Amino acid sequence: MHAWPASEVPALPGQGRDLRIHDTATGGLVPLVPGPVARLYVCGITPYDATHMGHAATYNAFDLVQRVWLDTKRQVHYVQNVTDVDDPLLERAQRDGVDWVALAEQETALFREDMTALRMLPPRHYIGAVEAIPGIVPLVERLRDAGAAYDLDGDVYFSVESDPHFGQVSRLDAAAMRLLSAERGGDPDRPGKKNPLDPMLWMAARDGEPSWDGASLGPGRPGWHIECVAIALDHLGMGFDIQGGGSDLAFPHHEMGASHAQVLTGEFPMAKAYVHAGMVGYDGEKMSKSRGNLVFVSALRRDGVDPAAIRLALLAHHYRSDWEWTDQVLQDAVDRLDRWRAAVSRPDGPSAEALVEEIREALSQDLDAPAALAAVDRWAARQDTGGGTDTGAPGVVSRAVDALLGVAL
């Protein structure tokens, strides 16, 4: 699949800083020192509805990761998937009487437009589940041949007990796992499973549903977790730097994915850090396609809201906190954007050297974007009161805000 166009990332004076980031698997901050090529996998959308502010907030967090790494002069190999076949997509297509392929294509196209407008840097590989199927089938066969997967009425399940490290991503107890498994696409109550938590790797063809050649597995379609694992291993290999997504993916998705990969390769861990963004709510509940309490990026854009203001609204919240989208959040971002644009269009201002370092420092400490915004606010306020005559400063601020925060002033 093609991704979307990259906006330019200006080079900044001085040295970028390495990232310390919160890792769900250890429960604390870990210093990441990637090689010359940093490797990032971020779970992509299931394209049955438009991009909402929750999605945008999660992709914003990992866009900051890329920008911090680029500032350290590393290359970034960023991979993202599109879950372009799965139960929720098929169910929505059925409900609305539309073709599921057309629905996925239409929503993926809209996502690309939203990401471009928000200046999110594109992945280097943007891979759909459907196009990954030829690579998924042999992985499932290998797991089965190794005794880590078993057949149940034609479907193939992964045995969580085959991974001695199972549980080390989310660090949840069995009861919590069971509850979340039922809520998030699992089938803990299906009779015949070895362990209620075992996730499906391959679903045998169902009447009226699309299916693909599965070689020795028979016709069917892939499970959700093996999709991301096949794509990550194919394009990044084991031991990549960050596996990312929203906090609702820690269990079961990232837990199961790590187990699949670890059993397949015999290596541990799959990723050096498992990074999870908080949930954005609206009207008192998590914003979600299934609840329908959504604020869409595309709808705001249609209403004439500047995408840079949307981006500033996301950046005003720490990526790990859960927060609520409100009209006031957007209004504050619009006001801040006005102040910043006025500031960088003046002929001079206070020196920007210290500010660039403050933004770098804030982002390197677990992506503290609110602290970075506060530093820019202080610079603009000092300029307002006539503090400084550096004619290069407004340009440096504008480039730093663009390069490190993805906001074009």
Distance CA 260, CA 254 (A): 10
Of 123, 124, 119, nearest in space to 315 by CA: 119
Are residues 152 and 192 in contact, defined by beta-carbon separation less than 8 angstroms? yes
Q: Does 120 bind ligand 5CA (CB under 6 A)?
A: no
Q: Does 271 bind Zn ion (CB under 5 A)?
A: no
Residue ranges for the known binding site for L-cysteinyl-5'-AMP are: 43-46, 58, 81-83, 224, 246-248, 280
Q: Which stretch binds ligand 5CA (CB under 6 A): 141-149, 246-254, 365-373, 393-401?
A: 246-254
Q: Six-digit token pair at 216?
A: 């020795």
Q: Does 43 bind Zn ion (CB under 5 A)?
A: yes
- Residue 300 CA, chain-centre distance (Å), reads 21
What, of ligand 5CA, Zn ion, none, does residue 55 touch, CB below 5 to 8 Å by kind? Answer: ligand 5CA
Q: Pick from 286, 301, 378, 382: which binds ligand 5CA (CB under 6 A)?
A: 286
Q: Pick from 3, 32, 50, 57: which binds ligand 5CA (CB under 6 A)?
A: 57
Residues in contact with ligand 5CA, shown as a per-residue x/- string from 75 to 94 under the rule CB under 6 A? ------x-x-----------
Q: Which CB sits closer to ligand 5CA, 81 or 383?
A: 81
Amino acid at 375: A
- The least distance separating Zn ion from the CB of residue 232, rounded to whole angstroms, comes to 9
Per-residue CA distances from 359 to 19, 88, 344 (Å)? 13, 40, 16
Q: Which residues of 352-379 are buried (b: 16+ CB within 10 A; e: fewer)?
A: beebbebbbebbbebbbbeebbebbeeb
Helices (H) and strands (E) in the chain, counts: 13, 14
- The least distance separating ligand 5CA from the CB of residue 400, rounded to whole angstroms, comes to 27
Are residues 333 and 313 in contact, defined by beta-carbon separation less than 8 angstroms? yes
Q: Pick from 228, 270, 300, 309: which binds Zn ion (CB under 5 A)?
A: 228
Residues 6+ apart with CB under 8 A from 161: 194, 195
Are residues 176 and 133 in contact, defined by beta-carbon separation less than 8 angstroms? no
In 134-217, the DSSP E strands lie at 149-152, 155-158, 200-204
Q: Pick from 84, 248, 358, 402: which binds ligand 5CA (CB under 6 A)?
A: 248
Q: Which CB sits closer to ligand 5CA, 111 or 150?
A: 111
Q: Does 249 bind ligand 5CA (CB under 6 A)?
A: yes
- The least distance separating ligand 5CA from the CB of residue 282, rounded to whole angstroms, comes to 8
Q: Pick from 264, 287, 300, 356: which binds ligand 5CA (CB under 6 A)?
A: 287
Q: Does 46 bind ligand 5CA (CB under 6 A)?
A: yes
Q: How many residues lie near ligand 5CA (CB under 6 A)? A: 21
Strand pairing category for 271-277 and 240-246: parallel
Q: Which stretch binds Zn ion (CB under 5 A): 184-192, 221-229, 290-298, 336-344?
A: 221-229
- The least distance separating Zn ion from the CB of residue 314, rounded to whole angstroms, comes to 21
Amino acid at 179: L
Distance CA 383, CA 401 (A): 16
Please give the residue ranges that form the binding site for Zn ion (CB under 5 A). Answer: 43, 228
Please give the residue ranges that form the binding site for ligand 5CA (CB under 6 A). Answer: 43-46, 54-55, 57-58, 81, 83, 228, 245-246, 248-249, 277, 279-280, 286-288
